[in-house]
Amino acid sequence: MNQATFGQLTNGVTLMRADFSDHAFERHSHDCFALGATTYGIQRFRCKGRQYDSRPGDLVLFNPDDDHDGCRGTADGFRYTMWYVPAAFVASCVDGNRYFANPHATDRQLAGTFGTLSASLAQTPAESLRAETLMRAFLGTILARHGERPQPGPGSSRAATLARARDYIRTYYARDITVADLADVAGLSRAHLTRAFTAAYHMPPHVYLNAVRIAQAQDLIRRGMPLAAVALECGFADQSHLTRRFKGSVGVTPSAWRRMRGNP
């Protein structure tokens, strides 16, 4: 049985609880922080080329744009609770470490605190001041313990070159973008563009494109746009194409995600 529930907390934070028996996430990323705890079984995933097995008492800590997949580590399946937190909210919570140092950590104390806090916030969604205060305190604690300051990126010239390709994807995600398009924008060869983009953003261009499309689709679904129109607006071939990619990244179909969020 595969199921997930979503709830809105405060400051744009989404709470997800998932119970997957055999669902496998395709390689994807998020434009926000994703942090949570495994509560049952083994949650196996790869991030930045390395495999991790997250067990009960372990934390899963993804920075924005960290590429990852996910599947069960045993036949028993796995469960987890996750927060999806806008980067701007995280930045407003801390003065020091602003990124997670590693995507996986064993910290039973913080994992327990996270589970208790998530359950409490889900029960009292209308108490925004309380929720924000507790969430800010927890984010400050987890980043102090498992975070780091931003690491120097590629040289300014290389960064600007690759940023042009990245921004092209973010602007023209609804088009059928090719490697040649990105190479022309960046002024690189097609072979070099793919290698350099993957090294800089820890994912190949097509994975980044899919992440941008899924984020745009979620925004349009929140606004009530019909799913067939969402698919075309975001560059998917049709609604079934949107459904496959959406479930592969989010864990549920677009229609189920819409219902869970209380949209008509």
- Predicted confidence (pLDDT) per residue in 81-105, tens digit: 999 999 999 999 888 778 999 999 9
- Neighbouring CB atoms inside 10 A of 24's CB total 12
**Interatomic CA distance for residues 143 and 59, integer angstroms:** 12
pLDDT at 84: 96
Owner of token pair 């400051």: 11
pLDDT at 127: 81
**Interatomic CA distance for residues 227 and 253, integer angstroms:** 11
The two domains 2-148 and 156-260 share their CATH topology (first three levels equal): no
**Interatomic CA distance for residues 42 and 58, integer angstroms:** 10
Task: Give CATH for domain 2-148.
Answer: 2.60.120.280
Low-confidence ranges of the chain (pLDDT < 70): 125-126, 151-157, 262-264
Token pair, residue 54, equals 């997250």
**Three state DSSP letters for the chain:** CEEEEEEECCCCCEEEEEEECCCCEEEECCCCEEEEEEEEECEEEEECCEEEEECCCEEEEECCCCCEEEEECCCCCEEEEEEEECHHHHHHHCCCCCEECCCEEECHHHHHHHHHHHHHHHHCCCCHHHHHHHHHHHHHHHHHHHEECCCCCCCHHHHHHHHHHHHHHHHCCCCCCCHHHHHHHHCCCHHHHHHHHHHHHCCCHHHHHHHHHHHHHHHHHHCCCCHHHHHHHCCCCCHHHHHHHHHHHHCCCHHHHHHHCCCC
Task: Give CATH for domain 156-260.
Answer: 1.10.10.60
pLDDT at 151: 63
User: Where are the chain's structural domains?
Assistant: 2-148, 156-260
Backbone angles phi and psi of 49, in degrees to 5 = 85, 5
pLDDT at 32: 93
